[in-house]
Amino acid sequence: MTGKGVARLTRTFTGCSTLVVHATPVKMLLPLIFLGLVANAPAPDQRRGGDRMEAWQATREGRMLPLREIERRVVPTMKDAQYLGFDFDSSTSIYTLKFLRDGSVIWVDVDGRSGQILGRTGR
């Protein structure tokens, strides 16, 4: 060491070698492809929204009963159960009403055209 806090290099820098790993083009594209698929997939609410819009349109045209009418008929029959909501399948015009009773989920399928209960799963 010469002077105050000054170091002197005594060897000449000759370089260094490193291991370089190159990714193949396919490996580089996979994450981008995945992100593109995820970004373009409709959200669950968007898919359900389409069925709900179709149900609303069918009700407006008189082809189906309003949801409130179906709920008015079915909910009182489900004693001691909490009504959680519904789903609608536009391909069959069936409402599925969902209930909770004593920790068990109960689904009630209802014909949207007639209001008739088609089936029930759960207790």
Q: What is the pLDDT of residues 38-93, one digit of tens each?
A: 455 554 444 456 677 887 888 888 889 999 999 999 999 999 999 999 998 888 99
Of the candidates 90, 93, 99, 96, the one whose C-alpha atom is nearest the C-alpha of residue 47 is 90
Of residues 99 and 46, which shows the higher confidence score? 99
Q: Evaluate whether 101 touches 80 at the Cβ level (below 8 Å).
A: yes
